[in-house]
A and B are shown apart, each in its own frame.
Chain A
Amino acid sequence: MEDAWKYLQQFTTARIALGRTGTSIPLSEMLAFRMAHAHARDAVYSLLDVDGLQSVCSTVFRLPVRLLWSQAAHRDEYLQRPDKGRQLHPEAAALLEALPAADLHKDIAFVITDGLSATAVNVHALPLLSLAIPRLQALGFSLAPIHLVTQGRVAVGDPVGAFLQTRIVVVLIGERPGLSSPDSMGAYLTFAPAPGLTDVSRNCISNIRPAGLSYAAAADRLVYLLQQALRQGISGVHLKDDSIQETRLLE
């Protein structure tokens, strides 16, 4: 039996007005769900496009790009040991210790890591940075080298930021894949990054992808939050995202 409100599907990508047979979901919808789940499972096991990101970042943004890696040796260990994904491998940490002084003490450091969907950052990190970086530079903020981290969690940005002695670190990371969004990217901002911080110290911009939060909207929010965080000297739950007020409520 079809639902009479099928036309509501134009307003959301949520699985509404699926119809029913008895109280159950019709077969075509059930199999569509299974296929989406298969895509999400595959995204979890996708790999960070290190070569592609490295070459484009260095040519387009004219920033040094370095590759780091966490303590998680492989995907299965990564999934069961988030603690290892939060910490840099000692050999990677040694690379950071050897950084030239010119790379230190910048305002903002970007870290790109696979998280739970490398596909997400492979596709969305560069478009977002292409919008955000020129604006940040125009505002006079200094940028640290970009770091790619394989098998990383959000908190891996803390040791990277601490080594760089940057004022704020932004981690671009693949979020856990949803059925409708195997490629959703998150951006986490942490002021005064240092190992041991928790989520209460971070601001998150979630669901960055064309069908979710657009690159333009995400860049607006990112630039706004970075300005506020750097001006107020805080990040986390006490830094409210009032950028919505300026964009959304004027509609």
Chain B
Amino acid sequence: MAYKYSIGGHTYAFTDLKTLLAKASPHRAGDVLAGVAAESYQERVAAQLALAEVPLRQFLQETIVPYEQDEVTRLIIDTHDAAAFASVQHFTAGELRDWLLSDAATTATLQALAKGLTPEMVAAVSKLMRNQDLISVARKCEVVTRFRNTLGLKGHLAVRLQPNHTTDDPKGIMASTLDGLLYGCGDAVIGINPATDSPAMTILLLQLLDQLRQQFDIPTQTCVLCHITTALQIMHKAPVDLVFQSIGGTAATNTSFGVSLSLLQEAYEGALSLNRGTLGQNVMYFETGQGSALSANAHFGCDQQTLETRAYAVARHFNPLLVNTVVGFIGPEYLYDGKQITRAALEDHCCGKLLGLPMGVDVCYTNHAAADQDDMDNLLTLLGVAGCNYIMGVPGADDIMLNYQSTSFHDAQYVRQVLGLRPAPEFEQWLYRQGITDLTGNLLPVPASHQLLGGM
């Protein structure tokens, strides 16, 4: 259906819901590239005013990517929880925004509501929010997941230790891993992006990490972020804790990643059957990021932030341990500068949390974007306030394999310290037992004779 808003004698008409969502989206490069962005400041706000009036029920009636063509749309519609939706079904998108910010929306009510919300509803609400609102609402959410430790508790911030190496050299990877552990990082996962997608190398790296974990009884999980088909191929001959996959918000995007819902289901069931979690069975690790659909020419005229939230519907179906948006990785043609990256990260974090996902954020940028460390410091601090589940820990913030800048082990310590955030409880105790941190979480001087360094 068409949507309208009139101002000063001019009537803006938006032909359908996806157009309205796109025009209402805060300005970013990728929507301009896709040709879906508002053409003036006034048109953008007019779209937001019109969007605020759309009843939430309409989002169940009018799909933005055709149901018949797209299995992600079918997943969203077919798994929608009408009972959970009942408490907000009379709201418009604008009323939902005000309610989310009200005292009536508590951690418990938001958890109960999550499966009643669709990605498009959440995306719509986010477009009606300022950054402050995105932080306030996300901070109320709490999404807790478990494998060998407990992630996502309020007041805790975990770190994925990312010890990538340009040639997957085992000693190089181990050196970065030990550096990270000695800086208090690695509770979310110790996860390597391999330089190539070789099954043999994946097995070797998984064995390397698993051996370290077992030797020092580290309460965490390990992962080599290979393609899901590789994980399926090797999971019975290698220690696979988590199955990783990049995913997107349309079936065609997922095709471009070489995956489908049925393939994800197969891998999910496979990983569950390994039964390697000790505290819980959240066995999936997903990465997402605004712009992936357009990058694969699979965006159907939708804006990138709305499609990003649809990727969370895919993730949600497989009860992941970890989901993170790799927000600044994709480059300036999607998120041009520090301001756009910051906004997108806060949107992704908030929307993911509202949908019930254990959201982390890769606070990052590439060297062809107009951003630098100051932008990352700002975003990291905002996400700490917003209650982000985890961030990345990369030596010196410089990923030498993926060629981008993320957050460093030092950055993780900074944000934990200034905001009083703590590691995952089991990991925090391990750090204390190892003499890496004191009782209050401060780093201690570690001697060269420390047992973690014994093998090197």
Contact = CB atoms under 8 A, between A and B. Distances in A.
A80 interface: yes
Nearest to B331: A176
Given A11-B175, A207-B195, A240-B199, A80 B166 contact: no
A16 B182 CA distance: 11
Nearest to B298: A198
A199 B256 contact: yes
B396 A29 contact: yes
B453 A5 contact: yes
A192 B368 CA distance: 31
Contacts of B272: none
B179 A5 contact: yes
B169 interface: yes
Given A80-B336, A242-B199, A8 B179 contact: yes
Nearest to B396: A15
B167 A179 contact: no
A184 B403 contact: yes
A23 B372 CA distance: 20
A181 interface: yes
B447 interface: yes
A237 B198 contact: no
B83 interface: no
Interface size class of A (residues with CB under 8 A): 35 or more
Contact of B445 (A1, A83, A211): A1
Nearest to B174: A11
B403 A200 contact: no
Interface in B185-238: 195-201, 204, 227, 229-230
A4 interface: yes
Interface string A200-241: 100001110001110001000100000000000000111011
A176 B167 contact: no
Contact of A213 (B33, B167, B178, B450): B167
A248 B144 CA distance: 40
B175 A207 contact: no
A83 B33 contact: yes
Contact of B176 (A12, A33, A245): A12
Contacts of A15: 395-398, 408
A44 B368 contact: yes
A37 interface: yes
A33 B400 contact: no
A41 B367 contact: yes
Contacts of B195: 206-207, 213
Contacts of B175: 8-9, 11-12, 14, 16
Contact of A245 (B198, B368, B398): B198
A135 B159 CA distance: 46
A125 B32 CA distance: 34
B274 interface: no
A184 B29 CA distance: 26
B166 A207 contact: yes
B112 interface: no
Contact of A80 (B174, B229, B257, B333): B333
Interface in A187-202: 196, 198-200
Contacts of B60: none
Contact of A12 (B172, B229, B333, B410): B172
A189 to B, nearest CB: 13
Nearest to B201: A244
Interface in B60-108: none
Given A82-B333, A206-B196, A237-B229, A17 B179 contact: yes
Contacts of A11: 169, 171-172, 174-175, 456
B372 A16 contact: no
A152 interface: no
B401 interface: yes
Nearest to A239: B197
A200 B229 CA distance: 12
Given A80-B332, A200-B257, A241 B197 contact: yes
Given A5-B453, A33-B373, A198-B256, A18 B29 contact: no
A1 B397 CA distance: 19
A179 B406 CA distance: 11
A4 to B, nearest CB: 4
Given A24-B410, A33-B373, A200-B256, 10 more contacts: A5-B456, A8-B175, A8-B178, A11-B174, A12-B171, A14-B395, A16-B395, A23-B443, A181-B403, A206-B195
5 A-B pairs with least C-beta separation: A15-B396, A178-B403, A12-B172, A23-B413, A40-B367
Interface of B: 29, 32-33, 163-167, 169, 171-176, 178-179, 182, 195-201, 204, 227, 229-230, 255-258, 295-297, 331-333, 336, 366-368, 372-373, 394-405, 408, 410, 413-414, 417, 443, 445-448, 450, 453, 456
8 contacts: A12-B395, A14-B400, A207-B166, A242-B199, A244-B196, A245-B198, A248-B201, A249-B200
Interface of A: 1, 3-5, 8-9, 11-18, 20, 23-25, 29, 33-34, 36-37, 40-41, 43-44, 79-83, 116, 175-182, 184, 196, 198-200, 205-207, 211-213, 217, 221, 236-238, 240-245, 248-249
